[in-house]
């Protein structure tokens, strides 16, 4: 983990970026408090077992939690890393003899008290997925620098410290949601409006020839295995004709209750139905876009209202996937975008 970012260094870095980025310049007008999720941040000691971590994540309905150093007084860092449900899933894939063919009974026994995975210490599997690198900032940090650190180091969520304690988090979703709010302002900044009206084609869309997909009957463990191997956070689920019918992201396994684990042998649709029923929620509908959409329309689908989507699939007229747009794509384009000068 890198040390907490120095405010003076942040100021120098962000000033250089603002000269070429009107979107970052606009965001720099807002205090960090505008996007802070300032609440009690649930943490785990580094000697906690996976069983305890799963219980804590499920009870608090969270995807991940910072892990605090409690074993070594000589260790310079207070925060060792972050542990998430997806890290535990990927660890399970590593040690399971045949993860893609495990029965419900085998999956249930896999997490019984005293089993290898349940008794493993969380400090040994920190960021197993590669999706939870940790960066810390102080509460006086500026927003543009957090954006650039997130992009340069692949960080999806940063921790905000006060007096060495974690008091809040800021995610890429929070930052893009602020941008969405500004786009829908009664009197939006002209450049922000111009940014939102740009077509996604040739700007934010990540077009791909060979998109990794999963079939409707693939068990969730196989889907997770493909996610891990591809290094993605989300994969489209396609039917026998190759048409997108669903989406499965790493967040689907977040905060799972103990009763959900045997469902990892089910297909994605059945798994999601069971998990959301246990949570007392409805399965969210498939959200997608087409190549004729604008940047603003895509941002609306990603984070507008109560939406919280990390990856949006771009489909053709036959519902076949031809590309994707992530929160990272939006932020990266925002950082490097330079408006055309009017004649």
The pLDDT score that the predictor gives to residue 15 is 39
pTM of the shown model: 0.86
pLDDT along the chain (343 residues), means of 10: 44 44 88 83 93 89 90 74 90 79 78 77 90 88 90 91 89 94 91 95 86 93 90 93 94 73 86 84 91 97 88 96 95 90 56
Between CA 157 and CA 170 the distance in angstroms is 6
Q: Are 324 and 311 in contact (CB under 8 A)?
A: yes
The pLDDT score that the predictor gives to residue 113 is 64
> Helices (H) and strands (E) in the chain — how many of each?
13, 14
Give Cα 250 distance to the centre of its chain: 8
The pLDDT score that the predictor gives to residue 331 is 94
In the structure encoding, which two tokens stand for residue 218, read together?
């693939």
**CA Rg value for the chain:** 21
């Amino acid at each position: 983990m890198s040390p907490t970012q120095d405010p003076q260094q942040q100021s120098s870095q962000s000033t250089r970026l603002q000269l070429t980025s009107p979107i970052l310049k606009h965001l720099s007008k807002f205090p960090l408090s505008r996007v802070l999720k300032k609440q009690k941040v649930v943490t785990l000691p580094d000697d906690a077992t996976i069983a305890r971590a799963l219980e804590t994540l499920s009870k608090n309905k969270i995807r991940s939690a910072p892990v605090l150093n409690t074993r070594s007084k000589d260790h310079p860092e207070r925060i060792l890393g972050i542990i998430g449900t997806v890290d535990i899933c990927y660890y399970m894939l590593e040690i399971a003899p045949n993860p893609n063919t495990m029965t419900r009974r085998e999956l249930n026994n896999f997490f019984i008290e005293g089993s290898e995975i349940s008794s493993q210490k969380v400090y040994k599997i920190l960021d197993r997925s590669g999706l939870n690198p940790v960066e810390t900032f102080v509460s006086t940090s500026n927003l543009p620098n957090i954006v650039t650190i997130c992009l340069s180091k692949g960080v999806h969520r940063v921790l905000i410290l006060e007096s060495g304690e974690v008091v809040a988090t800021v995610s890429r979703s929070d930052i893009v949601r602020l941008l969405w709010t500004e786009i829908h302002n009664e009197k939006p900044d002209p450049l922000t409006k111009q940014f939102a009206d740009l077509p996604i084609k040739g700007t934010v869309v990540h077009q791909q020839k060979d998109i990794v997909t999963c079939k409707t009957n693939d068990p969730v463990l196989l889907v997770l295995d493909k996610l891990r191997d591809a290094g993605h956070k989300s994969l489209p689920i396609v039917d026998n004709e190759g048409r997108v019918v669903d989406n499965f992201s790493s967040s689907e396994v977040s905060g799972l209750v103990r009763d959900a684990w045997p469902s990892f042998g089910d297909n994605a649709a059945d798994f999601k139905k069971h998990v959301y029923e246990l949570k007392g929620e409805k399965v969210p509908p498939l959200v997608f876009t087409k190549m004729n959409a604008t940047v603003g329309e895509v941002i609306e689908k990603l984070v507008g209202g109560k939406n919280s989507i990390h990856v949006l699939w771009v489909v053709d007229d036959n519902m076949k996937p031809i590309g994707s747009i992530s929160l990272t794509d939006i932020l990266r384009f925002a950082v490097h975008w330079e408006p055309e000068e009017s004649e």
